[in-house]
Structure formats: C-alpha cells, structure tokens
Structure 1
Amino acid sequence: MIRGPILGGGWGLRALATVLAVAVLVAAIGVAVSIGEMAIPLATTFQALGNRLLGMGFALSPIQEGVIWDYRLSRAVVAACSGAALALSGAILQALLRNPLAEPYVLGISAGASTGAVAVMIAGFGGGAISLSGGAFIGAVLAFALVSLLAAGAGGGTDRIILAGVAGSQLFNALTSYIVTTSANAEQARGVMFWLLGSLGGVRWPDAHVAAPVALAGFAICILHARALDAFTFGADAAASLGIAVTRVRLVLFGATAAMTATMVSIVGSIGFVGLVIPHAARFLVGPGHIRLLPASAMIGAIFMVLADIVSRIIIPQQILPIGVVTALFGAPAFAIILYRARRTA
C-alpha cells in the first residue's frame, strides 16, 4: 500500500494545499466548460459564470452563455461529484475491509448498480414506481449482499472478498447483458452499452441536483466516522475495544457507499478504477489519517474525473470516447502496480 505523507506538515502547509487543490478544480472545470464543438475562450466562461452567479454585467453572446450554463457546466459539476463520490467509496471500503484492492467496481457494487438501473430503464422493473437511482441502489445492495455471502461461504478474509467481488461482477454484468439482449431494441442497446462504459453526454442540471447532494451527504457521513475508520485500520476487534459500535458503523458506511455508487452509476454509468487508484494517491500525499485522507480523496477524485472528461472529448478528433475507457487507461496500470505491491507486502 502506498504510504506518505508528502503533505504531513503543519496546518499552514495543509491550508495552502487545500487552496491550491480548489484552484486546480475550478480551473479544470473552467477548461472543461470551454472545450466542445463550439470553442469558448476561458475568460468568456468565467464571465458567463460571473453573470449568473454574481449578477455581473458582462456583455456576452446569449448562445455562448446558454451553452456554458445549460450544457457544459452541469456536465463538469456531475463529473466532479462522481469522481469525489467514487473516490470516497473506495477509501471507505479499503478501510473497512482492510484491503488495498477494495473499491465499488472490484467488489461488484458498480456492476450490481448497473444491473438495477438497466432493469428499470429497459425491462420496466418496478412498473414506474422505482426511479433509475432507486433501481441502481437496490442492485448495489443486492450485489454487496451476494459478495458478502460468497466471501463468508469461502471462509471469509479480505482476499476472499476480492475474489467474490470478481465473481459477483461477472454475474451482474451477465444479467445486464441478458436484459439488454432480450428486452432492448437496437437503438436502446447501443445507448445502454455506451452508457455502461461511462457517459456524461446527456447530463443536465437535474442530474447535478441529484449528484451534488448525494456526494455532499456521503462526504459528511464519512467525515463524521473518520476516527472510527482509523480504528478499523487495526481490525474490527481493535475498533470494538476502543468503544466503536462496529456493526452500526459498518452498516452506515456500507449504506453510504452503496448510495453514492448507485446514484453516480445511475447518472453516468459504471466507471472503474477511480475508487481504487485515487485513495492510494491521496494516502501518499496526506497519510493514512482519515480526517485528512477523506477530503483529499474527494478533491483528487473530482479533479481526476473532470480531467478524464476533458481527455475523452479531445483524444479522438470529432468523437467522444466513453469516460470509463479513459479512467481504465490510467487506472489499469496503477491497479497492476498496487496488486504487485500488495503481493510483496502480504
């Protein structure tokens, strides 16, 4: 496991790092909003935001201002929220399971959420009474329950959980493919397959109004349990001896992880490696203490997803690459490195 910290100094250094991270995130969102079929200068982007948010009177083209506010900014906000939520989920799972390879994608939670969302979207599961996010949440909970049962049946242990997660991922991916193959027409099948690889193309402000509160609520819940997560570093028995309500904390944090993962999957599709790689990068920078690790993971995850969205739009001219492909291109080599290091320290 990657250890640090690089930024383990005093409050002044950490405050400076926080300001710098926020500035980088704002700059990345500005660049993301400026890039597209209609190129918009970065200065115009911030002027448009100033007009809407602060009531400034910059003279701008109504078309440019509409594109910035109604289409591109919502996309960038959802990308940031998704990256933060998935990175937080990975940090929580790695702490609770004491395994550096734990994350929603590896444990099958993302696959289960995808199955639940597709069941609502294509097969009409719930008869209209269940929303897309609700279906994704049910799928995520079922996936984690199945993985837990498989791991328990195999004798428990964090290595067993990872193997059970791989099996669960394959099962739910197969169920998703079955639903799409048997219930979707050709156009729906193409749209769903592109969405499952991660897509921000259809994101609008209503999606941001769902993603942002979920990410903020998940972050608040995680921060409130930061000390408990530190105790889990030494195992559940050690946490219980320190007065931590182990069962309650696990239920709350697993529930928060499932809710964040399901919500983001229902909006942007299944995106892998963010929850795996980002917590390790944050741990390298700020150390293992969760009161610093969780905010760092959220911020780095948000920046990473916004940058990945930018890359997905510029890497191939006149074509948008699924954002999950971009995260995999960066995440797969990092996953291999983490796996090798985990084997050496086993």
Structure 2
Amino acid sequence: MSQQEMRRRRLLARALALVTMLALVAGLLVGSDGMSLHGLVALVDDGSAGLVIGQIRLPRTLGAWLTGALFGLAGAIAQGLFRNPLADPYLLGSAAGASLGVVLVLSAGSLSLGAIGWMSRFGLVAAAFAGALAGVALTLSLARGAARTTRLLLAGIVVGVVLGAINDLLTTLAPEALRGKQAFLLGTTGFLGWPSCALLLLALALVLPPAWRLARVLDALSLGEDSAASLGLALPQLRLMMVVLMALATGTAVAQAGMIAFVGLVSPHLVRRCVQATHGYRLMASAAMGGTLLTLADVLSRWLVAPQELPVGVLTAVLGGLYLLWLLQRREDH
C-alpha cells in the first residue's frame, strides 16, 4: 500500500469520526424547537434532561448510527457479492417480506401504528424481521441456493414483485393497515430506544466479524467466477453465508427503523470514491459511512421542519437520489 493511500484512509477515518461526533452532539440538541443549546439548558434546569436526553434523544441518535451501519455493511456485501455497484440490501426480497410481515400484523389486528402499545410494537418488529428473513429464504429456494448470482438476483426480483402484490391486496382488504404500512415504508427512527440499540448492536456484532473473514472471497469474486473457482473456494457455500449475513443485517435494521432507502447503496459508493481498498477495509468503512449518513439524516429530519418531523427515509431517498443523479451526469460529461 502506498503512503498516499494510507494517508487517504487515515483522513477518511478521521473525517468520519469527526462528523459522527458532531452529528451525535447535534442529535442531543435537536428538540421540538429545533436545534437549541438554550432548550438543552432549560431541560437541565427543570430536571427533565435525564428523561428527554437519556431515554429519547440519546438512544434514538445512537440507534440511527447502528441502523445506518447495518445498512452500509449489507450494501457493501451486496455490491461485492453481485459485482454490481448498483446492488443494494433489498435485492433479495427482504424489503417486500418485511413490509408484508408488518401489514399482516396490522391488518389481522385492525390496528394503526399510532394505536398500538409496546407489546404490539414488539410484534411489529418481530413481524418485520421474520418477514425479511422469509423473503430471503423464498428467494434462495427459488434460486436453488446461492450457486449462481444471476439466478439469485432474478429470483429476488420475482419474490419482491409477488410479495409486493400480496402486500397491496391485503392493504386493499384492510384499509386500516394503510397508515401503519405507510409509516413503515417511509422509514422512521422515532421508535428507537435502548432495547432497539441493544438488538442493533448485537446484530452488528454478529455480522461484522464473519463479514470481515469473508472479505477475501469478495476480493476473489471481483476477479471473476472462474478466477475465484480456480483458487479452490467453495463458492456456493460461501455465497450462501454472505447472503445470510446480508439478510440478518438488513432484516434487523428494517425491523427497527422501517424501509430507509439509499443508505445501503450510497455508503459503499462514497467509500470507493474516497479510497481504493480491498473488501476487508471497504466493509468496515461502509458500515461507518452508513452510520454517519443516517445519523446526519436523522438530525436533519428533526431540525428542518421543527416542531414537525420529516420521515427520515424520505430524506435519505431524496438526498441519495440527487447524489446518484449527480454521479450519473458527471460520468456522462466525462
């Protein structure tokens, strides 16, 4: 590795650390009156700082970082696995499965998202997670494993379309589930608390180490199927392991925060633009980049229209879409 590349990696790490710390501080300052140090002082004066900051703002901000880290990591795995810079964590049916799981719970109980208690809230999280994993399992079943990436990708598209159609049918039959479905599809960090942070941290701890160990497989796949097979790698089994890791990361993040768009797609892109590195470094940097991006988006969603709040998934979709449009235009100019 050249000295210049080492400097770029150190610069990226420091920039991400600095921006993340600033975003975390900003997350503690943003309230119903916008970003205000005076508001924070007022909370300390009236004795409610422990509740508002310790139980609402802090876990929400940390949860946003952990959610973004899981999306960024899953996106880097997807792009390496499919050897496609436009691949994202939702390709294998996890998004449609998670959405269907939520709609099944809401329509069965004739509930809206605002009417349910914490037990039902846990039920939605469990349903979204189970639905995401079920969608990926159905994709793997249709593709007959993970031996061929093209078949896996096509199976994911088919599963997404079919589950989406069932989702729409249930919504038509049970209109009362529409509000809950919309809130889930738009994405929100408003329900993240300390239990959510614990689950997200556990998922990250379970996915990150094996992903790091499988990074060499992604390096080999980047050289082509034949080159990777010539190295003696058991590609079908290793691909299956990566799909499971991607599903676990995506399913956990979606279950806790809903369908947050573009974070898993854009994070690896930004890392590749900043540094040239093998997949081992890229996976870790993409996780950090995803956490930083979603934390910033969460702060902006609470601050831009305070005391109202934008769905963070809408904000990431707009910003991510604008970034990709700019990137496309830039490539056409060159």
SS at match of 2:223: coil
Alpha-carbon spacing, 1:68–1:223, altered in 2? closer, same or farther (3 Å): same
Q: CA RMSD in A?
A: 3.5
Structure 1 CA distance for aligned equivalents of residues 295 and 106 of structure 2: 26
Counterpart of 2:86 (choices 101, 107, 111) is 101
Counterpart residue identity of residue 131, structure 2: G
The answer for unaligned runs of 5 or more in structure 1 is 49-58
Alpha-carbon spacing, 1:44–1:225, altered in 2? closer, same or farther (3 Å): farther
Equivalent residue number for residue 96 of structure 2: 111
Counterpart of 2:135 (choices 137, 140, 143) is 143
Of residues 334-343 and 214-223 in structure 1, the stretch that sits farther from structure 2 once superposed is 334-343
Alpha-carbon spacing, 1:131–1:8, altered in 2? closer, same or farther (3 Å): farther
Alpha-carbon spacing, 1:80–1:249, altered in 2? closer, same or farther (3 Å): same
Structure 1 CA distance for aligned equivalents of residues 311 and 91 of structure 2: 19
State the Cα deviation string for residues 229-284 of structure 1 (Å, max 9, x = none).
11111233322322322122212111111111111111111112111111111111
Equivalent residue number for residue 88 of structure 1: 73
**Alpha carbons 1:114, 1:265 under 8 Å: kept:** no
**Alpha carbons 2:34, 2:307 under 8 Å: kept:** no
**Alpha carbons 2:72, 2:286 under 8 Å: kept:** yes
Alpha-carbon spacing, 1:16–1:280, altered in 2? closer, same or farther (3 Å): closer
Are residue 239 (structure 1) and residue 228 (structure 2) matched?
A: yes
TM-score, normalised via structure 2 length:
0.81
How far has the Cα of 1:41 moved from its partner?
5.3
Structure 1 CA distance for aligned equivalents of residues 10 and 325 of structure 2: 33
Counterpart residue identity of residue 70, structure 1: Q
**Alpha carbons 1:230, 1:289 under 8 Å: kept:** yes
State the Cα deviation string for residues 289-343 of structure 1 (Å, max 9, x = none).
1121111101111010011111212222432111111011012233446678999
Counterpart of 2:210 (choices 192, 213, 221) is 221
Counterpart residue identity of residue 289, structure 2: I
Counterpart residue identity of residue 162, structure 2: L
**Alpha carbons 2:100, 2:167 under 8 Å: kept:** yes
TM-score, normalised via structure 1 length:
0.79
How far has the Cα of 1:7 moved from its partner?
9.5
State the Cα deviation string for residues 127-180 of structure 1 (Å, max 9, x = none).
x9x95455334433443355567778xxx764x766664554343233233334
SS at match of 2:31: coil
Are residue 171 (structure 1) and residue 156 (structure 2) matched?
A: no
Equivalent residue number for residue 316 of structure 1: 305
**Alpha carbons 2:29, 2:35 under 8 Å: kept:** yes
SS at match of 2:309: coil
Counterpart residue identity of residue 179, structure 1: L
**Alpha carbons 1:122, 1:180 under 8 Å: kept:** yes
SS at match of 2:5: coil
Are residue 9 (structure 1) and residue 1 (structure 2) matched?
A: no
Equivalent residue number for residue 117 of structure 2: none
Counterpart residue identity of residue 289, structure 1: T
Alpha-carbon spacing, 1:88–1:206, altered in 2? closer, same or farther (3 Å): same
Alpha-carbon spacing, 1:61–1:146, altered in 2? closer, same or farther (3 Å): same
Structure 1 CA distance for aligned equivalents of residues 218 and 251 of structure 2: 22
Equivalent residue number for residue 230 of structure 1: 219
Decide which structure has greater helix share. Answer: 2
How far has the Cα of 1:224 moved from its partner?
1.6
Counterpart residue identity of residue 179, structure 2: R
Equivalent residue number for residue 51 of structure 1: none
Equivalent residue number for residue 281 of structure 2: 292
Alpha-carbon spacing, 1:19–1:316, altered in 2? closer, same or farther (3 Å): same
Are residue 33 (structure 1) and residue 18 (structure 2) matched?
A: no
Alpha-carbon spacing, 1:209–1:60, altered in 2? closer, same or farther (3 Å): farther
